Amino acid sequence: MIVASVLILLLLFLFVGMPVGFAMGVAGIIGLFLEGGPDAVLSIMSNAPFRTAANFSLTTVPMFILMAEIVSRANIVREVFIAAEKWLGRVSGGLAMATIFASAGMGAMSGSSTASAACMSAIAVPEMRKAGYSLTVSTGIVAVAGTLAVMIPPSIPMVIYGIATETSIGKLLIAGILPGLLTALVYCLGIILWNKVSPGVMPRGQAYSWPEKFASLRPLWAFVILGSVVIVVLYAGVATPTEAAAIGAFGALVISAATRRINLKGLYEAALQTAKITTMIFTIIIGAMVCGYFFTLTQATQKVINYIGQSQIPAWAIMGCIVVLYLILGCIMDQIAILLLTLPLTFPLVTGLGFDPIWFGVIVTKLNEIGLVTPPVGLNAYVVSATVKAPLDQVFRGTGVMLAMEVVTLGLLLSFPIIATWLPSFMKY
């Protein structure tokens, strides 16, 4: 009864607009008080929040965020879009596919979906509009393409999942490479099919000569360095995820400064935004920790796991219910909050059923990716709408076809776990 009351109270706090971290923290404190009295509250709150925030692995988060903010302000991804446009622009839907590949490149340099969506909105939407794309199509494609940053390493949600479940962050990041590339290819397939069904919806762009095409590849050195350094040091075991994140942030700073793409004002703004986002994430982590202690005290999680384990429900049916749960939550909650709120229940349940924790991390990340463009709280759609001053409803309408492609990719990842687990299986740590 107390558990149900606390859950209802949490939903009420979220409904009235209380910040997610505070909602979980306050609901958890009330639950602790009802279950264990003031002693339980004082015992948890006296040192647990500090211990949680002082976790060394969490330093990975601000480093990746800083890398994303510097890359976004330095506009390094513009050359990737220009090169992709020159190679693909003449094809029907070529600019849309160029946006997909440029967004994948942005994801490989940042790990932040909102940074990717904001940056690509400013670069790709004007070019697609000049080529004859409608506002709905162009903004929808950019919003969905921005979600690639959630899957392709470095991925902040992957880091949060690894910390919350004590799963290897390095293996999780490497596990996102093939699913991320698969997602990009399926997006391109969706664009081709979209053009077949609705001819002219994505007009051809300008044709370029072969010398112009090859010349467009020369400025990509910054992208190649930043996009590969984190992955290489992680896969080779040269650096821990925290060290890799620091190397990536330092590399982004050095390249941006050396090429004069960022000034002191831009660096200050990047640092300030990093501090704001990091504070928000840490607040959610502490709030989720308080909630987690409450559920541990009541043994609610263990009771649910034992109940399901004693039932005759097939493992894949349970997995299907978990997928539906995440899809529903993705419509109404922030992605980091979803992870921290649900993983104390879903992770032990899924691993107890024999599923691979690395594979489940990829599935949860993919579900979070879908939530970023699902109304009414699809964050990427809001970012794109605000950046290009487009009506929000048009952005959401433009994501519809591409969301169907997300479902295809999700089905492939669910059916063939080896897509996610193959690369990490070769890692030595």
pLDDT tens-place string over residues 237-294: 788 888 888 888 898 888 888 888 888 888 899 899 889 888 888 888 888 888 878 8
Tell me what pLDDT residue 185 has. Answer: 93
Q: Is residue 349 part of a domain?
A: yes
Q: Is residue 293 part of a domain?
A: no
What value does the mean pLDDT take over residues 117-129? 85
What value does the mean pLDDT take over residues 97-112? 83
Domain containing 343: what range?
58-262+300-426
Tell me what pLDDT residue 428 has. Answer: 66
Do 400 and 140 contact (CB within 8 A), yes or no? yes
Tell me what pLDDT residue 301 has. Answer: 66
Domains in the chain, number: 1
The closest of 175, 204, 213 to 95, measured between CA atoms, is: 204
Q: Which residue has the higher pLDDT, 360 or 77?
A: 360
Tell me what pLDDT residue 309 has. Answer: 66
Tell me what pLDDT residue 91 has. Answer: 80
Is the pLDDT score of 429 beyond 70? no
- The H or E element that residue 72 is part of is helix 60-74
Q: Is residue 412 part of a domain?
A: yes
What value does the mean pLDDT take over residues 393-417? 89
Tell me what pLDDT residue 414 has. Answer: 94
| Window from 85-89, 158-162, 332-336, 362-366 with minimum mean pLDDT | 332-336
Q: Is residue 130 part of a domain?
A: yes
Q: Is residue 200 part of a domain?
A: yes
Tell me what pLDDT residue 413 has. Answer: 95
d(CA 43, CA 33) in angstroms, rounded, equals 11
Q: How many residues does the chain have?
A: 429
pLDDT more than 70, % of the chain: 98
Tell me what pLDDT residue 412 has. Answer: 95
Tell me what pLDDT residue 357 has. Answer: 95
What value does the mean pLDDT take over residues 299-319? 76
pLDDT tens-place string over residues 383-401: 888 888 888 888 888 888 8
Tell me what pLDDT residue 313 has. Answer: 80
Q: Is residue 40 part of a domain?
A: no
Q: What's the whole-number average pLDDT of the chain? A: 84
Is the pLDDT score of 312 beyond 90? no
Tell me what pLDDT residue 11 has. Answer: 79
Q: Is residue 289 part of a domain?
A: no
- The H or E element that residue 193 is part of is helix 177-197
Q: Is residue 270 part of a domain?
A: no
What value does the mean pLDDT take over residues 86-110? 83
pLDDT tens-place string over residues 336-376: 888 888 888 889 888 888 899 999 999 999 998 888 888 77
What value does the mean pLDDT take over residues 23-33? 85
Do 413 and 366 contact (CB within 8 A), yes or no? yes
The closest of 111, 114, 121, 109 to 160, measured between CA atoms, is: 111
Q: Which residue has the higher pLDDT, 37 or 306?
A: 37
Is the pLDDT score of 415 beyond 90? yes
